[in-house]
Amino acid sequence: MVLTVAIILALVLPSPANVIVLVAGAIGEVGEIIWGRRLAKRWRPKTGPEAMIGMPAQVVEPCRPNGEVRVHAELWAARCDAGADVGDTVTILALDGLTLVVAPGRVAAVPEAGPSDG
Confidence class for position 86, pLDDT limits 50, 70, 90: very high
Q: How far apart are CA 68 and CA 76, in angstroms?
A: 6
Tens digits of residue pLDDT in 19-75:
999 999 999 999 999 999 998 888 877 777 778 888 999 999 999 889 999 998 889
Identify the pLDDT of residue 27. 95
In this structure, the chain runs to a length of 118
* Residues 49-104, CATH architecture: Beta Barrel (2.40)
pLDDT value for 2: 87
Domain boundaries, the chain: 2-42, 49-104
